[in-house]
Structure 1
């Protein structure tokens, strides 16, 4: 038993330099989700972003070269009803007529340990740009990996909910964004 354990340890340490790191560079948008949640008068509301495009390159062994660019189709926001979706498109909210897209561009990635990472970058919504950071886990699965994470967006930073809707006592300022991205090494 001891000799087979020793052989396993030695064998894996001798092969470690030859293990190939994988660069995940293609987000499967049809198998990925981006959701949001917030509180309106104390009641939790959930929704999702139905369409987005991504340029992505992530290799955990080369974080300095990692990049992520997400372009969000804000017209595709779904807050659970047609009435709510129509309201989100209005000038006081996302003003999708003038600003149909939002964008996140990464500036840095860092390892936190145990397949956990942090990405920092610039988020632009409704013509306003703010720095944000998100913590995520990466779970490799052969030639694919799952990236799951969350971050909090302050809606007032982006003028989301202007006029009478600016009162954070009615609709909370904090909007929690959750993402579940399936990436592969396909391109």
Structure 2
């Protein structure tokens, strides 16, 4: 009788874990934001780029996966105006940087999400910029209706080498940092 109860209890536990269904949360791109910060020897520039689409998938209450598409043609600086804004935006969209005519989108696909703390996950995913896919790892904090992260991207891994001191050692004060920072705030 005791063995029968143990088997029944084990069966209930197994069935309850199998019945955890995935919940897909579609990100509201119009209410979400991606802010960027890029530094150079003589200063820095900041701006935005728009999220085109995105989803987070939860199994039970745990993050399981995510997929995002960024509209690279929306890339703009927010720290300049007028002629200088037009020049910087044009250069960022050129082949020297993101080549948005040929590569109008960038993507991020989560491959693994592990719990770091309550509602905080360490995410490993594949980031694709300019048709080049590289792994990236960052922490993502979630609530019922939001998710947020800040992480750095090494642009040289995506063939964005313009004025990189690590590639052009004699560039001097025209050097631009290899890493740029993204601050992402998602709403669903």
Q: Can you give the 5+ residue segments of structure 1 that lack an aligned partner in the other structure? A: 1-19
What pairs up with 1:33-182 in 2 under 5 angstroms?
Answer: 33-59=33-59, 61-63=61-63, 66-80=64-78, 81-140=85-144, 145-162=145-162, 165-167=163-165, 170-182=175-187
Q: Can you give the 5+ residue segments of structure 2 that lack an aligned partner in the other structure? A: 1-19, 79-84, 167-171
Task: Could you list the structure 1 runs, at least 4 aligned residues long, displaced by more than 4 angstroms after superposition.
Answer: none
> Aligned partners of 1:52 and 1:82: how far apart in 2?
22
Q: How has the CA–CA distance of structure 1 residues 115 and 136 changed in structure 2, closer, same or farther, with 3 Å as cutoff?
A: same
Deviates more, 1:24-33 or 1:167-176: 167-176
TM-score, normalised to structure 2, is 0.75
RMSD: 2.3
Aligned length: 157
CA contact 1:50–1:78 (8 Å) conserved in 2: no
User: Greater RCO between the two (CA within 8 Å, min separation 6)?
Assistant: 1
TM-score, normalised to structure 1, is 0.75
Deviates more, 1:149-158 or 1:80-89: 80-89
More strand by share: 2
